């Protein structure tokens, strides 16, 4: 993989619509070059016969959901004590739509 050069950085800055100081430019170029070097290092690993995976962790291969359990409801007073605002025994929320 090639090195990240000043022209590539200028193109990237234009695409991202960002401005950087010369010191920031140098820091970005150094960081991106380190990333490219790491990718080169990873490309040296023999992956023949290794199946592709979409997840890093084996446990993420399936949806882990808990079973629904029917439990007692909280008493209204305890429930409302957690609400930031209440009115008439109900949770008060900011209006979503205003009437004309």
- Choosing among 3.40.190.290, 2.40.50.140, 1.10.20.60, 1.10.1370.10, the CATH entry for 6-43 is 1.10.20.60
> What tokens appear for 52 in the block?
């592709």
Q: Where are the domains of the chain?
A: 6-43
CB 55 within 8 A of CB 61: yes
What pTM value is reported for the model? 0.47
Q: Who wins on pLDDT, 26 or 95?
A: 26
CA dist 81 and 12 (Å) reads: 51
Give the C-alpha separation, 9 to 16, whole Å: 10
39-91 tens-digit pLDDT: 999 889 998 988 877 666 766 666 667 888 999 988 988 989 988 899 998 99
């Amino acid at each position: 993989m090639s090195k990240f050069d000043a022209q590539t950085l200028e193109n990237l800055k234009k695409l991202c619509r960002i401005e950087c100081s010369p010191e920031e430019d140098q820091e970005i170029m150094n960081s991106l070059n380190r990333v490219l070097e790491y990718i080169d290092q990873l490309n040296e690993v023999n992956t023949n016969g290794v199946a592709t995976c979409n997840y890093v962790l084996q446990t993420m291969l399936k949806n882990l959901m808990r079973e629904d359990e029917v439990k007692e409801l909280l008493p209204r007073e305890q429930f409302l004590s957690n609400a930031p605002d209440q009115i008439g025994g109900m949770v008060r929320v900011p209006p979503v739509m205003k009437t004309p």
